[in-house]
Amino acid sequence: MYQYIDEYLNFLAIEKGLSLNTLEAYSRDINRYSEFMESKGITNVKNIMSDDIISYLGTLRKSGLTANSVNRALAALRGFNKYLIRESIIEENPIANIELAKVWMRLPDTLSKDEINHLLEQPDLKAHLGIRDKAMLELLYATGIRVTELISLTVNSINWHVGYLIVVGKGSKERIVPIGKPAIDCLTRYLQEGRKKLMKGKRSHVLFVNRSGHGLTRQGFWKIVKKYATKGGLLKKIHPHTFRHSFATHLLDGGADLRSVQVMLGHSDIATTQIYTHISRERLKDIHRKYHPRG
């Protein structure tokens, strides 16, 4: 079984071009599955039946995993078994009729436009780090990119003439996202003033650097965000996707179409983007309850 797992992971890496993080997640899920089957005395993938897989998924739930985590494990197994059929290793898919666990959809947390503006006003533009922080926050809100994508940007990621960003997202897929004048202005000032001082004569293609001239980490960036949230007195919990969720929600509230938002966020499936339409509906309900005499 492990031979087929290695071949499948190589297939995902070479032919599908999946990222290292995604490959590691698939590897963990499928190897955990194979270990479970071995504990039941099943070492040949041809001998795995639907009942065995249901038993495995039940074990995952009993171990305390959420429905989302179980569904992710199931998705990994779906792909693995499709590969086995494609390679004529098995004839029937034992997972074909197994349904996803029910997941209660939790709407993502967002900041209002006023809260975003207040947060963006917190960096001290008299300091080099403040100029950098302002540019990062403005760019994050202007584009909706992921934090990992933000800290991976290079100086060449920006097209200054047209005003857009070239982003390398999940699976090493490139997408183009418009930036907007406020973010462009902040980036220009950062490159002219803040970055030069932080680099101290060093050379690097990384766009956003720390006081030592090296690239930022996710943890380092979020310490910066939390610092400004505390400074601005924001009571809402800030997490890695807060700016991304706010970006998408504010676009849809302003009349943007779902397909355009999907492209800018880099979602491969529009169903992932549709969660933001639920946020808008919830907001409409709140407005109706607040302002209608029979609300």
Q: Where are the domains of the chain?
A: 2-86, 113-289
| Model pLDDT, residue 34 | 93
Statement: residue 196 has pLDDT above 80: yes
User: 2-86 maps to which CATH number?
Assistant: 1.10.150.130
Catalytic residue among 170, 175, 189, 197: 170
Mean local confidence (pLDDT), 5-25: 87
| Model pLDDT, residue 192 | 93
CA dist 137 and 24 (Å) reads: 30
Statement: residue 279 has pLDDT above 80: no
For the question of residue 2 being annotated catalytic, the response is: no
Residues 6+ apart with CB under 8 A from 283: 253
For the question of residue 267 being annotated catalytic, the response is: yes
Catalytic residue among 132, 146, 195, 250: 146
Catalytic residue among 197, 214, 239, 267: 267
Read off the pLDDT band of 214 (50, 70, 90): very high
Residues 6+ apart with CB under 8 A from 101: 57, 61, 67, 70, 71, 74
| Model pLDDT, residue 278 | 66
Mean local confidence (pLDDT), 59-66: 84
Read off the pLDDT band of 295 (50, 70, 90): low
For the question of residue 244 being annotated catalytic, the response is: yes
Nearest to 264 by CA among 148, 157, 165, 156: 165
| Model pLDDT, residue 103 | 47
User: pLDDT of 94-128, one tens digit each?
Assistant: 887 777 655 444 556 789 999 999 999 999 999 99
Supply the mean pLDDT for the chain.
87
| Model pLDDT, residue 70 | 83
Class of domain 113-289: mainly alpha
Exposed, middle or buried, 49 (CB in 10 Å: 0-12/13-18/19+)? exposed
For the question of residue 239 being annotated catalytic, the response is: no
Statement: residue 175 has pLDDT above 70: yes
Answer whether 113's CB lies under 8 Å from 63's CB. no
Catalytic residue among 72, 82, 118, 241: 241
| Model pLDDT, residue 110 | 87
Top mean-pLDDT range of 18-22, 106-110, 144-148, 253-257: 144-148
CA atoms within 13 A on the CB side of 169: 17
Catalytic residue among 195, 244, 245, 250: 244
Mean local confidence (pLDDT), 132-155: 95
Statement: residue 170 has pLDDT above 70: yes
Statement: residue 33 has pLDDT above 90: yes
| Model pLDDT, residue 139 | 96
Nearest to 228 by CA among 109, 130, 127: 130
